[in-house]
Structure 1
């Protein structure tokens, strides 16, 4: 995420929630803006999971070799949402949901998933994700079934995995829940290059 985008989120340190407006950005970046170990870490998607602090905030994405050779691949460097529960991709249908361990995940392209993962997917959990736009920045949130907000749980070498803030969350690698920290997910509008139709071909 660009430094200018992070600076635009600075008001969140004093006010956790942005006031809604009618001008909802068509797509947006997400960055942690709560004080603590994940402050200013950008959201990054990798292998269907979401992380904070992975590298410099870049995400894992894919573009077919033929499209890449033709110079028509979208940037694919940031994890960008086109609404509160969908990734911004050329290949449609990557839905964000909450799995049985309360981890934030994304389906594969075309709203599908690998057969071995299908039992773990309840895409209806995507209904709890909300985007609250603001004048210059906004907030991404999750509220459903008594769950409110997000947790960042230690994963490896300063990387945190993203969960919803539930007392039943099961952190990775045998970590205890009290090692996780709640955070506010701020948003800033993502502007595509002139020749792109989405932020990534697919994640």
Structure 2
């Protein structure tokens, strides 16, 4: 991680750590908080997959041109969860799931379709003293894995011995991580973090 990125995160983390999170907030963003190569990287979604480190944590989102022209687009820069298994969008229904390769995914824009053989349960928000955690438990395994993709980008999987990273990436190069969940406050006059992802 670049020194400038670390310095930019310090005030954010100091403010986050002062919050008390004894219950699930209305919406939250996720950051890797465990030691290792993905520490302090924000969760981002792009092309229905989840990543750590993609574009310095900025997500890919879409807002219709007519809404953008009217100046009514939500920020759309961060991947925000409305609850443990749904993205926070104006257009409802983007569900988070685990595909048959154990990759963490989200249904596409304007769709609740998920791939066959996928699992939608197992995700949960767990409150904490300084911040909550986004967790996954299912089929005898729990937690998340970050698997190298390219250029310092890691793809997010659930922590299963059967996870299948992209071709050429060995499972033993993946690292488990804790997913810290931090309250996200919307700007005034906005109802969701993104129109759709």
In the superposition, the TM-score normalised over structure 1's length comes to 0.86
1:149 match:
143
Q: How does 1:49-64 map to 2 (within 5 A)?
A: 49-64=49-64
- 1:91 lines up with 2:85 in the alignment: no
- SS of the residue aligned with 1:168? coil
Matched, 1:194 2:193: no
For 2:120, what is the secondary structure of its paired residue? helix
Q: In proportion to residue count, which structure has more helix?
A: 1
Match for residue 124 of structure 2 among 113, 123, 130: 130
**Contact map agreement 1:8 1:136 (CA 8 A) in 2:** no
Tell me if 1:182 matches 2:167. no
Question: What is the DSSP-based 3-state SS (H/G/I as helix, E as strand, rest coil) of the residue aligned with 2:82?
Answer: strand
Q: 1:148 to 1:8 in 2, by over 3 A?
A: farther
Q: Unpaired runs of 5+ in structure 2?
A: none
Work out the CA distance in 2 between the residues paired with 1:142 and 1:62: 27
- Equivalent pair of 1:88/1:199 in contact (CA under 8 Å): yes
Partner Cα separation in structure 1 for residue 94 and residue 160 of structure 2: 24
Specify the SS of the correspondent of 1:173: coil
Residue in structure 2 matching 1:6, options 10, 13, 23: 13
> How many residues are paired up?
189
State the Cα distance separating 1:24 from its structure 2 match.
Answer: 1.8
Q: Distance in 2 between matches of 1:86 and 1:102?
A: 18
Kept after mapping to 1: 8 A contact 2:81/2:87: yes
Contact persistence 1:9–1:187 (CA under 8 A): no
Looking at structure 2, the residues matched to 88 and 142 of structure 1 have their Cα atoms a distance apart, in angstroms, of 19
Quote how far apart the aligned CAs of 1:111 are.
Answer: 4.4
Q: Which runs of 5+ in 1 are unaligned?
A: 12-18
Two-structure CA RMSD over aligned residues (Å): 2.1
Q: Cα distance 1:7–1:120, how it changes in 2: closer, same or farther (>3 A)?
A: farther
Write the distance in 1 (CA, Å) between the matches of 2:38 and 2:64: 33
Residue number in structure 1 paired with 2:29 = 29
Q: 1:99 to 1:24 in 2, by over 3 A?
A: same
Q: Is the 8 A contact 2:30 2:80 kept in 1?
A: yes
